[in-house]
A and B are shown apart, each in its own frame.
Chain A
Amino acid sequence: MIDSLYIAWQYIRSNKIRTATLIACITLISFLPVSLQLLLGESEQQLMSRAVSTPLVIGAKGSSLDLVMNSLYFSDEIPELISMEASDRVMESDLALPIPVYARFHARGNSIVGTTLDYFDFRGLKVTEGRNLAMLGDCVLGAKVAENLGLKPGDSLLSSPETLFDLAGVYPLKMKVVGVLQKSHTSDDLAVFVDIKTTWVIQGLGHGHQDVTNLTDPTLILKRSQSNVAATAKLYHHTEITKKNIDSFHFHGNTSIYPITAVIVAPYDDKSGTILRGRYLSKDETLQIIKPEEVIDGLLQNIFRIKNVLDAVIAVVALATILAVILVFALSLRLRQREIQTIFKLGCSRLTIARLVGAEIFIIVLSSGLLCGVMILVVNQISHDLVRMLFIR
């Protein structure tokens, strides 16, 4: 047997290109399905982990996928807006902790996420540089945002207007960067966090300006009566919130009806969660309460359906490759006809010739197996970071 392996090895050494091609074909065809399985498994785990760690989400009735993707992964698809009353309603129920989320605006291509301080405790986010949100206009950056934009505490960041064509719209707000979050390898790394009230200032629902009741410049007054002062468009609005002007900032009307995109709900226990879900089942209800785990699970089911198609394609390619390999060996045997006849004339039996060919195939398959094993080990090692990189860009 050793002799056969020796002769096969010598033959392989003298036909390097053919052997390398065969090894590459077999390696790739066995590596592809296994690595795909590994990466999909890791993606599923990572996608699900964020969904599983978010017990319930309340939002407007409509696409539950948009709602989950926006409130968990801050996607650009904005679900229909709801009001802060949805959050107050959960708070008043005393069944769960509501965390309002308003993920609508952007700053230099990154999502601005308006929320409350409870979000940071809920997600276990820690500030590594600077401090947490304290004043209106403060922002805390996700690790990746700080890295990409080269920002640190003390710098400022301007919110982006929703549309370039809204010339009479609200001025962008110059936010003060007060902290940078520890890397969490989640969507939080790509977000700019502000207090929910700051997002309302960005939207123009809250603002700061000169005290209109004490204006002396007549060009600033459109109409003055005993009970109302109407100001002209010339009235100066502050575009940055500072210690000096923070007193002039105020909100129009009742803040409990101000808009948000969703409410993340953390029930105090399983029973409270079930009771709460039951309260949103009515047909007249304008809100929906969803379990992100179920939505993401549904999404992954679809992804796995696509995976089945991929598996079928790989199976066909594998079959074609195996046939090609058989053909290569058959042709190789035909090309080596004279060489085989010489061996035969030297007194070797057919079995010996079969053993020689078998040894060749064994060496090629073994090499492919080893190479494939090493590649799978590498993918397994980096799959965690690779998937994070794919999801977190």
Chain B
Amino acid sequence: MNKRSEFQNPKPKIRTVFFCMACVIIACSSPIAAADNGTSDKLTVYVVNYPLKYFAERIAGDHARVVFPAPSEGDPAYWMPDAVTIAAYQKADLILRNGANYAKWVSKVSLPRSKMVDTSAKFKDRLITAEEVVTHSHGAAGAHAHESLAFTTWLDFDLAAKQAGVVMAALSRKKPAAKDFFKKNYTALENDLLAIDDEMKRIAAKNLLSPLVASHPVYDYLSRRYGLNMKSVHWEPDEFPSAAQWSELRAMLKKHPAKWMIWEQEPMKASAARLKAMGVDSLVFDPCGNIPDQGDFLSVMRRNGKNLKPAFQQ
């Protein structure tokens, strides 16, 4: 009898089924909708070095997901991404390049030109041709060099601000609705960069003629902007220099009596000690091409400024 009445009155069951279905639909649709909003609104920006990542993140805020896929070890300028990473770059909304031949892998892969922005294109005339490059020739093409432009443009903080300006313009083109937000953030970043620029000028102005040696030729823009009297060798901080490299330095010091050597990272204790014995102190000025272990671009550059101060004491 009970069974019969159940079949005769199926409404309670149908209601339960509808209620369950509604719950499932609501439960499934809500997070998807939220995720959709979250992803579709945000721009995906891929960059080739850390300074551009920092600039893009500061300017875009929550409006963009900035990706810098290079491994944390090593110099991103000499990194070569695999096919999967290249495919990710291809799918980005915006690809920020440093320009000045930085990240040579860009010239060896296929990326959509419509998405690429060369942040140093506007000051091409201010790019520095690197010294001490051995050219080579073969066939009818004549002499040519593989590396000719210095690429650590962001160490001239005036140029860094210009690069940040290009980042702002590119983001605004991609997302015009947030133009004012980008502009506001850019102005704050520009002020920070120009404050470091002023500080660097003040530090260097104390003793402009003070000769310096760079362990690597990556400080061309820093040197030019702040009028540093700097020459470079090709030393690695984690390798003890060879006898030839020491004699090269000795020869250099005879004509260029530097008291300080600038390193990209903390040098080996043995290298620093031997330099000290030669009357050359060591200081670190991190170009910050890759993500720093501590702090961010600005804090690293402020620390660099502090590290540089003793080299310019009278």
Interface residues of A (CB under 8 A from B): 87, 91, 97-99, 116-118, 121, 131-136, 138, 195, 197, 204, 209, 212-213, 226-233, 235, 246-247, 249-253, 255
Contact = CB atoms under 8 A, between A and B. Distances in A.
B88 to A, nearest CB: 11
Interface string B57-93: 0000000000000000000000010010011001000
B83 A212 contact: no
Task: With a 10 A CB-CB cut-off, give which of B110, B143, B144, B146 has the most chain A CB atoms.
Answer: B110
A230 B108 contact: no
A131 B108 contact: no
B107 A118 contact: no
A87 B83 CA distance: 27
A116 B110 contact: yes
Interface string B132-152: 001111110111101000000
A99 B112 CA distance: 10
B117 to A, nearest CB: 10
Contact of B135 (A91, A138, A227): A227
Interface of B: 80, 83, 86-87, 90, 107-114, 134-139, 141-144, 146
Dominant SS among interface residues on chain A: mixed
A247 B112 contact: no
Given A132-B90, A255-B107, A116 B137 contact: no
B137 A134 contact: no
Contacts, number: 85
A228 B87 contact: no
Contacts of A117: 90, 110-113
10 contacts: A99-B113, A117-B113, A121-B112, A134-B83, A195-B109, A227-B134, A229-B134, A231-B137, A235-B138, A246-B80
Given A91-B113, A246-B80, A247-B80, A136 B138 contact: no
A97 B112 CA distance: 11
B146 A250 contact: yes
B112 A118 contact: yes
B134 A213 contact: yes
A17 B111 CA distance: 69
A116 B90 CA distance: 11
Contacts of B87: 131-132, 134
B143 A228 contact: yes
Given A131-B83, A247-B80, A228 B109 contact: no
A195 B110 CA distance: 6
A186 B83 CA distance: 29
Contacts of B142: 252
A255 B101 CA distance: 11
Contacts of A213: 134, 136
A91 B121 CA distance: 12
A87 B109 CA distance: 19
Nearest to B108: A136
The 6 closest A-B pairs by CB, nearest first: A133-B110, A231-B138, A117-B112, A212-B136, A195-B110, A134-B86
A355 B241 CA distance: 116
Contact of B138 (A133, A197, A233): A233
A135 B109 contact: yes
B152 to A, nearest CB: 20
B122 to A, nearest CB: 10
Nearest to A99: B113
B116 to A, nearest CB: 9
Contacts of A235: 138
Task: With a 10 A CB-CB cut-off, give which of A138, A213, A249 has the most chain B CB atoms.
Answer: A213
Task: With a 10 A CB-CB cut-off, give which of A134, A204, A228, A249 has the most chain B CB atoms.
Answer: A134
B113 A228 contact: no
Contact of A197 (B90, B107, B139, B141): B107
Given A228-B143, A247-B80, A250-B146, A134 B135 contact: no
Given A116-B113, A118-B112, A135-B110, A253 B144 contact: yes
A102 to B, nearest CB: 14
B103 to A, nearest CB: 13
Given A197-B110, A252-B144, 20 more contacts: A91-B113, A117-B112, A118-B114, A131-B83, A133-B110, A134-B87, A134-B110, A197-B107, A204-B139, A228-B134, A228-B137, A229-B134, A229-B135, A229-B137, A230-B136, A233-B138, A247-B80, A249-B108, A250-B146, A255-B107
